[in-house]
Chains A and B, each alone.
Chain A
Amino acid sequence: MSTAKIKWSGSVELESVQVNVETNSIEVDGTSRDAKEYTLDNPISGTIYGTLLNFQGSLESLEDAVYEYPYHSPPVAPVLYIKPANTFNRNCAGIPMPQDVTKLEMGASLGIVMSKTAIALTEENALRHVAGFTIVNDVSVPHSNIFRPAVQHKSRDGFCPSGPWIIDLDEVENPDDLAIRVFINDELKQENSTKNLIRPIAQLLAAVTEFMTLFPGDVLLAGVPEVAPLAGVGDTVRIEIDGIGCLENTVVDEKTFIRRESK
C-alpha cells in the first residue's frame, strides 16, 4: 500500500488515503475498491507546466532538423508550456475530440507536484519541495512544427486529465527510473521510462526555478516520450506509471462532451 492524496468529487481538500498502485484501488474503512468505482476530481490545484523535448528520443526524433530553419540549434534551456485551467480533467472522464480533427496525441507524463514555494532550487534540495507524483495525459492535436507555441493544439477544453491521485514523495524510491506504459483499448502502444529524461527531475526543477517560481500545488510535467500514441473517438487510453498508478480516459465527441456526466 502507498500513501496518496485524493480529491473526492465535491470536496475542497485533498484527503490522505492508502492506495494499491498495482490494482489501482483505494482502501476506505478496510475495504479496497477500484479507483474507477469512485468519482475523483483531478488532484491539481495550481498551474500545470509542460516540458517539451525532455526525452532523449523526442529530441533525437528531430534529427538534423534542430540545426536547420527554423530551429537552427538544439534547445539550451527547458522548453516549457502551460496547460491552462480549461484543459483540467479527471480520471475516467471523457476527452473531447474537437470537430476539426480525427486523432489526438496521448501525451503520457509523470507530473511532479510541488509542496513548497520553489525558487532557485539546487539539484540537492529540489525534491524536498515536491509533495509527490501524479499521472498526466498531456493531450495534443498532432503538430510536427514546434517553432511557435502550440496553444491551439494543447489548450483545448479537457485536454489535461490528471490523477487519479498524488502519490506521496516518500513512496517513490527513484522517480528517475519509472516505467511508463500507454494502452489504447488495452493494447500496449508505448513503453518508455523516466530514466530516459534528458534533464532528470531534480535537474529539471533546478533549471526551471532558476527563472520562475513554482508554487505549492503547481505541477511540472517531466516530459512526454517520443511517438505519442494516437487515439480517436471511442478509444480508451490508459496510462500506467510504475509506483504511481494508472489514469484512464475515453475519447468522446466534443458535441457529446459533458464533463460532469461522462464516466
Chain B
Amino acid sequence: MRTARVSFGGAIHEAIEYGGQLQLKDGRIVEEKDVIWLTPIVPRTVFALGLNYADHAAELAFDAPSEPLVFLKGPNTFIGHQAYTRRPADVTYMHYECELAVVIGKTARHVKKEDAYSFIKGYSVANDYAIRDYLENYYRPNLRVKNRDTCTPFGPWLVDADDVSDPMNLQLTTHVNGKLVQQGTTADMIFDIPELIAYLSSFMTLSENDVIMTGTPKGSVNTSVGDVVVTEIEGIGRLVNTIIGDEAFPNR
C-alpha cells in the first residue's frame, strides 16, 4: 500500500492511490491535481547521509568514509511533492540529490543488522538539495547548506515496507526538464540500510517516523530557476519539484 498526506477541502487527509486518482480516508475520490501534497509523514528526527555512494564521494573528491557521515535536518526544510524550492540569486551551484528515505516504524535501540528491517515502516523519496556556495568546513555539511527552508522535497508516497522486496536493489534517477542527469542504484550504497539502522541505534534511540535519508549517487548538475526536477526511485515514487527564485519571497 502507498499512502500520502494531502490537503483537500480545507483539511489534512490521509490518502491512497486509486487508479490515477486519490482516495481519501473518508472515502472521497479526488483528482491528484486538486490536492496539495504534504510530506507523507510528519518527520521526527531526520538523518541524512553524506558520501554514502562511492561514485558520488569520488565526484566530490572525497574518499569514501570509514564510518557513516551523518547530519540532521529540522522541520523547516521539508516540503511535499509538486512544491517549490528556492534558489538564492547569488549562488553559483545548487544541485539536487535523489535519495531513498527510510521511515522508522517503532522504537529502535541497539538493533542488530539482521533485525534491522523489522524496524522499518516504509520508504519514500527525498531530494536533498545542496548549495555548494555555502559549504564551510565546520560540522560540514552545515545547516546553511542542508537545512534551508524549502530545500528538502519529500514524498509523494510512503510505501509500506512489506511491499518493497529488496530496497537494496532499486534504480534511482533524476531528470531535469525531462533530461536524465543522475542514475544509480541503491545496491551501491557504502553503508546499507541495515548497517545504518544498526549504527544509529547503537548510540541513540530511534522512534517512529524518524527518517534516514540514505545518500545519493553520482550525477550532480547545477540547476536554475524554472527547472523542473524529478527525483524517482523504482517502485517507491516520482517526486516532482520546481525551482523558483528570490522574487517569490519579498520578505527575505
B45 lies within 8 A of A84 (CB): yes
The segment out of A147-155, A162-170, A221-229 that lies at the interface is A147-155
Of residues B142, B144, B148, B252, which shows the largest number of chain A Cβ atoms within 10 Å of its Cβ?
Answer: B144
The segment out of A72-80, A130-138, A174-182, A234-242 that lies at the interface is A72-80
Chain A residues within 8 Å of B141, by CB: 149
B205 lies within 8 A of A157 (CB): yes
A49 lies within 8 A of B204 (CB): no
- Which residue of chain B has its CB nearest to the CB of A82? B72
**Residues 118-173 of B at the A interface (beta carbon under 8 Å):** 134, 136-144, 147-149
**Residue A81 at the B interface, CB < 8 A?**
yes
**Residue B207 at the A interface, CB < 8 A?**
yes
Known: A148-B69, A211-B148. A155 touches B140 (CB 8 A): no
Chain A residues within 8 Å of B74, by CB: 47, 49, 82, 212
A78 lies within 8 A of B139 (CB): no
**Residues 61-75 of A at the B interface (beta carbon under 8 Å):** 70-73, 75
Instruction: Report the bound CA distance from A146 to B142 in whole Å.
Output: 11
A212 lies within 8 A of B138 (CB): no
Which residue of B71, B77, B134 contacts A77 across the interface (Cβ within 8 Å)? B134
- Which residue of chain B has its CB nearest to the CB of A53? B138
B143 lies within 8 A of A120 (CB): no
- Which residue of chain A has its CB nearest to the CB of B70? A151
B149 lies within 8 A of A77 (CB): no
Instruction: Report the bound CA distance from A214 to B70 in whole Å.
Output: 22
Query: Secondary structure at chain A's binding surface: helix, strand, loop or mixed?
Result: loop
A80 lies within 8 A of B204 (CB): no
Known: A86-B207, A150-B139. A155 touches B72 (CB 8 A): yes
Which residue of A75, A150, A157, A211 contacts B136 across the interface (Cβ within 8 Å)? A75
B149 lies within 8 A of A78 (CB): no
B207 lies within 8 A of A85 (CB): yes
**Residue B175 at the A interface, CB < 8 A?**
no
Chain B residues within 8 Å of A78, by CB: 144
**Residue A119 at the B interface, CB < 8 A?**
yes
B140 lies within 8 A of A148 (CB): yes
B72 lies within 8 A of A81 (CB): yes
- Which residue of chain A has its CB nearest to the CB of B44? A85
Instruction: Report the bound CA distance from A146 to B137 in whole Å.
Output: 8
Instruction: Report the bound CA distance from A70 to B140 in whole Å.
Output: 10
A120 lies within 8 A of B147 (CB): no
**Residue A8 at the B interface, CB < 8 A?**
no
Of residues B139, B144, B148, B149, which shows the largest number of chain A Cβ atoms within 10 Å of its Cβ?
Answer: B139
Chain B residues within 8 Å of A84, by CB: 45, 72, 204
- Expressed in whole angstroms, the minimum distance between the Cβ of B200 and any Cβ of chain A is 8
Instruction: Report the bound CA distance from A142 to B41 in whole Å.
Output: 34
B205 lies within 8 A of A147 (CB): no
**Residue B75 at the A interface, CB < 8 A?**
yes
**Residue B177 at the A interface, CB < 8 A?**
no
Q: What are 21 inter-chain pairs, A to B, with CB distance below 8 A?
A: A70-B137, A71-B137, A71-B138, A72-B137, A75-B136, A75-B138, A79-B139, A80-B139, A82-B72, A85-B45, A86-B205, A86-B207, A149-B139, A151-B47, A157-B204, A210-B252, A211-B144, A212-B74, A212-B143, A212-B147, A215-B75
Chain B interface (Cβ < 8 Å from any Cβ of A): 44-45, 47, 69-77, 134, 136-144, 147-149, 203-207, 251-252
| Known contacts A53-B138, A86-B45, A156-B204, then 20 further A-B pairs from the complex at CB < 8 Å, ordered by chain A residue | A52-B138, A70-B137, A75-B138, A81-B139, A82-B74, A84-B45, A84-B204, A86-B207, A119-B149, A119-B251, A147-B137, A148-B140, A149-B70, A151-B70, A156-B203, A212-B76, A212-B147, A212-B149, A213-B149, A215-B75
**7 nearest interchain CB pairs?**
A84-B45, A120-B252, A80-B143, A82-B72, A149-B71, A79-B138, A213-B76
